[in-house]
Amino acid sequence: MTHQNWGASPGSPRRWRAVDGIVLLDKPQGLTSTQALQRVRRHLQAEKAGHAGTLDPMATGMLPLCFGQATKACGTLLGRSKAYSATVLLGVATDTGDAEGQPVVEVDVPAYDADRLERALAALRGERLQVPPMYSALKRDGRPLYELARQGIEVEREARLITIMSLVVTGRGDRTLDIEVVCSKGTYVRVLAEEIAAGLGTRAHLVALRRLWVEPFESAAMVSLAEIEATPAAEVTHAPWLAAVDSAFPDVPVLKLNAGQALQLCKGRTLPCPAGLPSAAHYRAYDPAGRFLGLVEPGAAGRLQVQRLFVPGAGTNGDGPKT
């Protein structure tokens, strides 16, 4: 998760403003996630911005950008499932695991049939451990691993628990495989490509990667950078591609409050749990005007307490008693 809170630099004519919402950017190839975020943020003139889930410069596809109050949802989105399509080139390994790296070894690709391919895929599905690559943003002693890798330094990386919910081949060439994968956070598709190749007795790297969706936006439309920048600055806060903050929580039950309850909640105080409220881990709270206030959860003595507020200046520390 990346949060950035920019203000106008000395002498700068730009005026930042409060913008709340989520943009599902179709990140173009060649930009880092931060560069893409900065471009959109400047066009929106948004004071506060962050992105949920880094995409490599080579990759394209869904990059959720969070602005204003929505930056509080970045952590939630970062932890959700994601889906990718990718093209794997068999027989050649690179130092980065993708086409941006330098080839380090070239080997034969043994003949394999559909059964052997399926066995290789089946071994990778489900919950298991995966060792992150050296070319990653993970840090060791405060330094990103990719900085060490560029110096030819390799350090031991702890394997992380991941889940591959779905892994299928959608196309096959002489030396290529097109795959689609649905996976948990922390999964490196570059490493997955290498693992598939190992199951076939060869080496590989990614030559294309696209993120298809990030939960809960499985069926949501993405917007291109060109479309965003073609929208007049005066219209961006009403653009259809700027989704509401609560779109990050579509499956959370709704709790409608009266004016008094809304006021108490925004002060960070607990509320009596309404009769007949369905059992849930948390609820989306709204004021009488339909404004999304935040998330509440069952607390002690049959009362509801703030889990996270999404309104400016609310709560004892701007966010309620629990953040």
Active site (catalytic) residues: 56
Helices 189-199/114-122 angle, 10° precision: 130
Cα–Cα distance measured from residue 194 to residue 313, given in angstroms and rounded to the nearest whole number: 48
Provide the 3-class DSSP secondary structure of residue 237. helix
Burial tier of 314 (Cβ tally within 10 Å: 0-12, 13-18, 19+): buried
Cα–Cα distance measured from residue 11 to residue 210, given in angstroms and rounded to the nearest whole number: 40
Nearest to 107 by CA among 184, 202, 189: 202
Nearest to 78 by CA among 100, 94, 96, 63: 63
* Separation of CA 237 from chain center: 22
Provide the 3-class DSSP secondary structure of residue 100. coil
Cα–Cα distance measured from residue 97 to residue 169, given in angstroms and rounded to the nearest whole number: 19
* Cβ count within 10 A of residue 4: 14
Q: Which residues, including other chains, have CB under 8 Å from residue 159's CB and lie 6 or more apart? A: 129, 130, 131
